[in-house]
Amino acid sequence: KKDDPNSFYVEEEPHLYHTPPLPSFHSKGVPPEDLKRIPLPPPFDDLPKTGKCEWSWDGEKRIILANFSSSVSSSNTFAMDPKDEAFFLQMMERNDLTLISEGLVSVQSLNPDYWKPEYLRRVLGQEYYHKFRRFDTVKTKKGFEKCVEVDGMVSMKVGDYIQYLEKRQDYLQGVMDGADPSFAFVNHEGQPKTLKNVGISALYMIDVDINRLLPKLSSNFLESFRYHGVLPGGSHCMLNSVTSTARPFMGPNMYVTPPAAFTHFHQDGHGTVDSGHLCISGYNEVVMLRRLTERHKKHALMTLTGNFGGKKALPTYFDGLYQEPHGDRLVSGNLSSFEWSC
């Protein structure tokens, strides 16, 4: 292949210059001359200075912060300045940087009665939910702690899950006074299950369809969210060209988890959609790679996951591009968040 003549990365042309050999299961990588570095991402214009949004840029971490708390009209309603909105949308199109915004939810409009675990218990407490992922904290031979996923999906009543969260919090805060740290529940097949220690096992509730399961909470979210154009089917989402009765469901979904849960490296929609994350409480840590060619993605996954295998065994390739679940998410503090795709 010829050398790339472009000073910056051009989305339509990398297949002409950046198609290294695919990762080999019989070797530990590709020679540097076959895996050339792709060009730097293009620069962007200066940050807007409208006075309606506070912008900041961290060049080392490539993070843009946008605070829209002051974006209000003369009638005291939310209104983006056209320059801020244009720049905001341009940055949303780029995945060589991380865009974090603040002020797109009216906190005053959020009904606190809907945003507590007690509301989930009251509405869904006796309903079984089948998408809980379990993560256990274990110690390695060298004494390091790590979190590993076990048992696949767990099925339990939502009320039991809220009780588990409460017991785990009591355990971690040291207020159980020597009580048994185990937690017992019954799955949807009537089989008794037990977590030996709530402080070690973290259960992650994923993909909750709030529109179908929690309609009042969903309505309150839509009332409080100030920028509907980026939601599925909104003015800035291509789903608006598809009739609402024929659109695939793209969220918003709700996720609830204590610390230690995560989701594998992935590309949402096999790389065909953009996703938004709204963190209601806790912290949502996302590791994001810049835009890469298909083959560079595969090499990146092999490098990041260390799937090179031992001397006598071939590695098992981690397919985060087309097989593994979505949403890179490491949390600290109980997390309640939303994700949607366009």
Nearest alpha carbon to residue 271 among 287, 299, 253, 291: 291
Give the pLDDT of residue 331: 34
Better-scored residue on pLDDT, 281 or 156: 156
Better-scored residue on pLDDT, 33 or 136: 136
Helix (H) or strand (E) holding 89: helix 82-92
pLDDT band for position 1 (cuts 50, 70, 90)? low
Q: What is the pLDDT of residues 64-114, one digit of tens each?
A: 999 999 998 878 789 999 999 999 999 988 878 889 999 999 988 999 999
Residues 6+ apart with CB under 8 A from 235: 228, 229
158-172 and 117-124 helices, crossing angle to 10°: 150
Whether residue 5 is preceded by a cis peptide bond, meaning omega within 30 degrees of 0, is: no
- pTM attached to this predicted model: 0.80
Give the pLDDT of residue 85: 96
Strand order in the sheet with 253-257: 145-157, 128-139, 201-209, 253-257, 335-341, 275-281
pLDDT band for position 129 (cuts 50, 70, 90)? very high
Angstrom distance (rounded) from CA 156 to CA 136:
17
Using the 8-state DSSP alphabet, how is residue 306 labeled?
T
Q: What is the pLDDT of residues 252-306, one digit of tens each?
A: 899 999 888 888 777 777 767 777 888 888 888 877 777 777 777 877 777 776 6
Q: What is the pLDDT of residues 190-234, one digit of tens each?
A: 999 999 999 999 999 999 999 999 999 999 999 999 999 999 899
pLDDT of 318 > 90? The answer is no
pLDDT band for position 334 (cuts 50, 70, 90)? very low
Nearest alpha carbon to residue 295 among 321, 315, 257: 321
Residues linked to residue 121 through DSSP beta bridges, in sequence order: none
Give the pLDDT of residue 314: 42
Query: In this structure, are strands 192-195 and 183-186 parallel, antiparallel, or unpaired?
Result: antiparallel
Nearest alpha carbon to residue 174 among 199, 201, 157, 205: 199
pLDDT band for position 313 (cuts 50, 70, 90)? very low
Compute the average pLDDT of residues 235-240. 89
- Please name the residue that has the structure tokens 């050339």: 36
Give the pLDDT of residue 342: 45
Give the pLDDT of residue 28: 56
Nearest alpha carbon to residue 48 among 74, 79, 82: 82
pLDDT of 330 > 60? The answer is no
- Please name the residue that has the structure tokens 């949402």: 268
Angstrom distance (rounded) from CA 121 to CA 168:
16
pLDDT of 251 > 80? The answer is yes
Secondary structure (3-state) at 167 = helix
Better-scored residue on pLDDT, 147 or 191: 191
Ramachandran angles phi, psi of 205, nearest 5°: -85, 120
SS (HEC) of 102-137: ECCECHHHCCHHHCCHHHHHHHHCCCEEEEEEEEEE
Angstrom distance (rounded) from CA 12 to CA 177:
62
* Side chain identity, residue 132: F
Give the pLDDT of residue 312: 46
DSSP 32-87: GGGSPPPPBPPP-PPPP--SSSEEEEETTTTEEEEE-TT-B-TTS-B---HHHHHH
